[in-house]
Amino acid sequence: MRHLQLSLNKGQKLRLERALEQLESLSSKANSDASVTVADDIPVNYEDAILKGHGTAEMDGRVVATLCGVVERVNKLVYVRSLRARYKPEIGDIIIGRVLEVAPKRWRLEINFSQDAVLMLSSMNLPDGIQRRRTAVDELNMRSIFEENDVICAEVRGFQHDGALHLQARSQKYGKLKTGQLLTIPPYLVKKRKQHFHYLDQYGIDLILGCNGFIWVGEHVEVKDDMVEDVLEKSPEPQNAKPCNTPVDKPLEETRTPLATRQNICRAANAIRVLSTLGFTITVEIIMEIVDLSISSSVDIHEMLGAEFYVVVAENEAAQRSSSSRKRKAHLVHHPAPRSWINARTTYMRRS
Amino acid sequence: MAGKPSSGPTTYSPLLTGQKVKRPILTDSDWVRPDGRNHHQCRPAFVRTGAVTSASGSAYAEFGNTKVIVSVFGPRESKKAVMYSDKGRLNCNVSYTNFGTPSRAQSPDTKDLSSMLHKALEGAIILESFPKTTVDVFALVLESGGSDLPVVTTCASLALADAGIMMYDIVASVSVSCLRKSLLIDPLSEEESCQDGSLMITSMPSRNEVTQMTITGEWSTPKIHEAMQLCLDACSKLEKIMRSCLKEAASV
């Protein structure tokens, strides 16, 4: 494994190899014979009318690859998926990004993609919550909403003509993220699901799985819809210092996060690091499992990044899958080479 | 990493006593290569991808004493000053480490090498696949043992393949030195320093195309033909080694 830079002693290496072999044998597709390097011929039945997709080119009547990767076939479409797959954005994806600069009427965010994403001022709720046209004063006060190096959660609204992303953060659940850790993992380990915001109530932490490979683990924040609050709650203190996801600039009391929450945040973050190094798909269930495993075997937080815990996680996962595969088909697949999570046709259409 | 030779106080590199390297007196007898190779034999090549984990793609190449590491970043955002273009941009930078050459006085012209690397690679990369963005290639020569630019080009193409940049074909590069009557392939630094002429070819072997050819010095036409043939054969052999390295990296 190229990213595993741990020193494993002999026993641990053996156990890890055995666990990985077991996982390989359980994974559904054997892909090794379909791997191809640049300018390799792609075995194709030339009589069929095939569509040459992403990563292929035509040369002298043959179909050759322009990327190093794995050949995938979907009906008539033949394409090459590269191993270090970059993030492929789609409209509606939940994304986490870091502000790089504050530009006229927009913020530029870095999102682990080939180009920076743009969040327009008009796609952002104003602090006072009123829906109105953005004036010059609003533009001058942009910095009070988001500054450079802030971590922001947003949704993909669309694409610009040159391929850069347009984001929007109009709901209360989007916005600036505070008190937590931002983790970077390979984007193909995060699958598109219905829910990307998770609240682990037994630990009191929020987990946001960004589709671009950025994961946020942080202190739990109550998401309140301002409009509803005015109607329902006739609270005598409408401006109390509740931590909110809205970019409120009111001076909040400096409430210290309790130590237990912070430890849980670190534990969850380390669990994600271990899982991503081993190449497992990141889902809430598996993160909770690993955190529970680490607590039950009383592994210290810093020991979670040690060699022994890696091996334990791999073995645990191998044992789990082999037992569950007997009952049903394992739907969590191990990734020796990353799989495409997107409908291949959409990829092809966009790329052409 | 590689400090500019002109900056800071002058330093003196230690004299290697006991290894008095005199310029060899060239007699009419055949040149015997210092490492015992035939005239038409290349050095054994060691290539590995994935050397730098923080880069999009990287490769390490060791051809005898010439050791090169190349990292590729991208495609990533271009500088704002650049106008929109539907082709991507390629940015190459070659640098030498302080300890890479035997003495400071021999530190080569890295700007020259960078632009030659650029010309060699831009014919092979499909620039239309990453419009408006830039791919940065940084080559660092850890030790210069002769035939540096061909090794850098070969290593850079592996790093680009590792990064997943679309290319027409991987490029392999070999150079030949002309010394009196003999043609020496894959020359060492001693051979390069007393050569009469050099010919370097960067080719895409599967497509049977050449992206760059550089000839310097004294050549006669039949010698050029012979040297070109040698280079192209060596390139196709080198390509097999590169492909097996990429396949191995993919199967891990």
pLDDT, one tens digit per residue, over B226-246 is 999 999 999 999 999 999 999
pLDDT value of residue B243: 92
Contact A114 B252 (CB under 8 A): no
Where is pLDDT greater, at B14 or A229? B14
CB A75 within 8 A of CB A53: no
Confidence label for B10 from pLDDT (cuts 50, 70 and 90): low
Q: pTM surpassing 0.90? A: no
What are the residues whose beta carbons fall under 8 Å from the beta carbon of A289, sequence distance 6 or more?
A316
Least confident of A61-65, B64-68, B141-145, B196-200: A61-65
For the question of an ipTM over 0.85, the answer is no
Confidence label for A149 from pLDDT (cuts 50, 70 and 90): very high
Mind telling me how many Å the CA of B164 is from chain A's nearest CA?
Answer: 6
Is A165 strand, coil or helix?
A: strand
Where is pLDDT greater, at A147 or A38? A147
Mind telling me how many Å the CA of B238 is from chain A's nearest CA?
Answer: 15
Contact A3 B53 (CB under 8 A): yes
The yes-or-no verdict on residue A78 having pLDDT over 60 is yes
- Copy the structure tokens of residue A53: 């997709």
Q: What's the CA gap between B47 and A109, in Å, rounded? A: 37
Q: What's the CA gap between A258 and A219, in Å, rounded? A: 10
- Copy the structure tokens of residue B91: 């940015």
Contact B170 A39 (CB under 8 A): yes
Contact A69 B243 (CB under 8 A): no
**Eight-class DSSP state of B192:** H
What are the residues whose beta carbons fall under 8 Å from the beta carbon of A274, sequence distance 6 or more?
A290, A304, A305, A309, A310, A313
Q: What average pLDDT does range B204-221 have in this prediction?
A: 93
pLDDT value of residue B48: 93
Residue with tokens 């040149």: B31
Contact B130 A66 (CB under 8 A): no
Q: How many Cβ pairs closer than 8 A exist between chain A and B?
A: 81
Alpha carbon separation from A282 to A18, A210, A287, B234 (Å, rounded): 22, 11, 7, 46
The yes-or-no verdict on residue A168 having pLDDT over 50 is yes
Q: What is the pLDDT of residues A90-127, one digit of tens each?
A: 899 999 999 999 999 999 999 888 888 999 999 888 87
pLDDT value of residue A127: 79
- Copy the structure tokens of residue A95: 């994304």
CB A179 within 8 A of CB A208: no
Contact A114 B133 (CB under 8 A): yes
pLDDT value of residue B102: 79
The yes-or-no verdict on residue A224 having pLDDT over 80 is no
Contact B75 A66 (CB under 8 A): no
Q: What's the CA gap between A84 and A338, in Å, rounded? A: 8
Rounded to 10°, the helix A10-26/A307-327 angle is: 30
Q: Write the residue in B74, B76, B161 that is nearest to A68 by C-beta.
A: B161
Which residues from B are below 8 Å from A when comparing CB atoms?
Answer: 50, 53, 56-57, 74-77, 84, 126, 129-133, 161-164, 166-170, 204, 206-207, 243, 246-247, 249-252
List the single residue in A with minimal CA-CA distance to B170: A38
Least confident of A65-69, B68-72, B111-115: A65-69
Beta strands in chain B (DSSP E): 45-49, 57-63, 66-77, 89-96, 133-143, 172-179, 182-185, 197-204, 209-217
Q: What's the CA gap between A163 and A141, in Å, rounded? A: 28
Interface residue of A68, A86, A118 to substitute, partner B, most B CBs within 10 Å: A68
Contact B250 A114 (CB under 8 A): no
pLDDT value of residue B16: 59
Task: Tally Cβ neighbours within 10 Å of residue A85.
Answer: 19
Q: Write the residue in B53, B163, B251 that is nearest to A35 by C-beta.
A: B251
pLDDT value of residue B69: 97
Q: What angle do CA B1, B157, A50 make, to 5 degrees?
A: 145
**Closest by alpha carbon to A105, among A156, A142, A64?**
A142
pLDDT value of residue B157: 95
**Eight-class DSSP state of B125:** B
Where is pLDDT greater, at B18 or A200? A200
Q: Write the residue in A5, A35, A115 that is nearest to B77 by C-beta.
A: A115
Q: Write the residue in B50, B168, B252 that is nearest to A39 by C-beta.
A: B168
Beta partners for residue A118, in sequence order:
A108, A166
Confidence label for A236 from pLDDT (cuts 50, 70 and 90): very low
Report long-range pairs for A27-35 (Cβ below 8 Å, ≥24 apart).
Answer: A27/A330, A27/A333, A27/A334, A27/A336, A28/A329, A28/A330, A28/A333, A31/A70, A31/A336, A31/A337, A32/B251, A34/A70, A34/A71, A34/A72, A35/A68, A35/A69, A35/A70, A35/A71, A35/A337, A35/B247, A35/B250, A35/B251
pLDDT above 70 coverage of chain A, percent: 80
CB B250 within 8 A of CB A38: no
Contact B250 A337 (CB under 8 A): yes
Q: Write the residue in A39, A57, A114 that is nearest to B130 by C-beta.
A: A114
Which residues from A are below 8 Å from B when comparing CB atoms?
Answer: 1-3, 5, 32, 35, 37-40, 55, 57, 59, 64, 66-70, 82-86, 114-116, 162-164, 337
Confidence label for B248 from pLDDT (cuts 50, 70 and 90): confident
Q: What's the CA gap between B67 and A236, in Å, rounded? A: 72
Cite the DSSP H helix spans in chain A.
10-26, 136-140, 142-145, 226-232, 259-278, 284-296, 307-327, 344-351
Q: What is the pLDDT of residues B67-98, one digit of tens each?
A: 999 999 988 888 766 677 888 899 999 999 98
**Eight-class DSSP state of A295:** H
Q: What is the pLDDT of residues A181-208, one digit of tens each?
A: 999 998 888 988 888 999 988 888 999 9
- Copy the structure tokens of residue B20: 């008095």
